[in-house]
Amino acid sequence: MASKVTTLLSCALLLVAATCQAAAGYYNPPSPGTCGLKVGYYHDKCPHAEAIVKHVVRAAVLQNRGTGAGLIRMLFHDCFVEGCDASVLLDPTPANPQPEKLGPPNNPSLRGFEVIDAAKAALERACPGVVSCADIVAFAARDASFFLSGRRVDFDMPAGRLDGRVSVASRTLDFLPPPTFSLSQLVASFAAKGLGVEDMVVLSGAHTVGRSHCSSFVPDRLAVPSDINAGFANFLRGQCPANPSSSNDPTVVQDVVTPDNLDNQYYRNVQAHRVLFTSDASLLTSPATAKMVSDNANIPGWWEDRFKAAMVKMASVEVKTGSGGEVRRNCRVVNY
């Protein structure tokens, strides 16, 4: 027990230090191993755990590639709020009527919950009470990246996370950066979670897949004047109402060139001013991040290698271990 407490304390102290270092510009994040995570964590406890999740994710992506995009986004939305603890999966209850999944950044756009349910059900049949929902979310994001990238984004995901018991909708607004953020706001948001500027730029590349509701960028990006490409703006005006509402809020693809592929096309879109969000366009507003955009756009394999590392870093944010969490029997409810 003492060693577990020491590990948790080390993690917490490193994350605090990392946040300060990020603000100072020399961020060096805690490794997953420091936080009790390791590759092959289920090798003895549930040998086929990762293969089971991969099988479920493959079937889901084959049926609808947009689901894969949702699974990648789910990891980000989970980790940035209460840490990587599957708190985003919890359903409303009388005791907690407003969990994270009902927060404005998640409802109704976050998708993939049924894939996590299917993977959990299969794992409970294979090895009951062993694999946490938080690890399933991390594995699913990794596997979705693999399939959507044509197997080019292939990496090991350390595991050992436990599931959290706290999930509050309002906290999504506190920690998830909205699409209207400026560069400095984005940097601060990622630094608060122990992630550096390059991590932010690299993880933004996930906007090369998936769809967005018109309300996420109208009228902000379609106002005149704007840096957005005029032809692209006219295309979006043809897809979106001038004043999106809950009853009229269509979706558009985030990458009009390769909408179903996880690749570096996003960065070419940023350079061409053909991106949906203010936060996307902001990557060109400093020489340092503009250089990162250029490297990711033009150097073969550059973005993919960095995306793998950034995903592992993000998936180790504020993980629950020891007495700090549990392995849920059902990903949608805490154990009782």
Catalytic residues: 77
3-state secondary structure of 210: coil
Report how far residue 71's alpha carbon sits from residue 144's, in angstroms, rounded to the nearest whole number. Answer: 7
Phi/psi at 117 (5° precision): -60, -45
Give every CB contact of residue 52 below 8 A, 6+ residues apart in sequence: 119, 122, 123, 126
3-state secondary structure of 36: coil
Report how far residue 336's alpha carbon sits from residue 331's, in angstroms, rounded to the nearest whole number. Answer: 13
Instruction: State in Å, rounded, how far the first CA of the chain is from the last one.
Output: 23
Q: Which residues pair with 245 in a beta bridge?
A: 248
Are 232 and 274 in contact by the 8 Å Cβ rule? The answer is: yes
Are 276 and 252 in contact by the 8 Å Cβ rule? The answer is: yes
Report how far residue 227's alpha carbon sits from residue 214's, in angstroms, rounded to the nearest whole number. Answer: 18
Nearest Cα residue to 204 out of 72, 64, 66, 67: 72
Report how far residue 218's alpha carbon sits from residue 154's, in angstroms, rounded to the nearest whole number. Answer: 35
* CA-only gyration radius of the chain, Å: 19
3-state secondary structure of 163: strand
Report how far residue 27's alpha carbon sits from residue 149's, in angstroms, rounded to the nearest whole number. Answer: 29
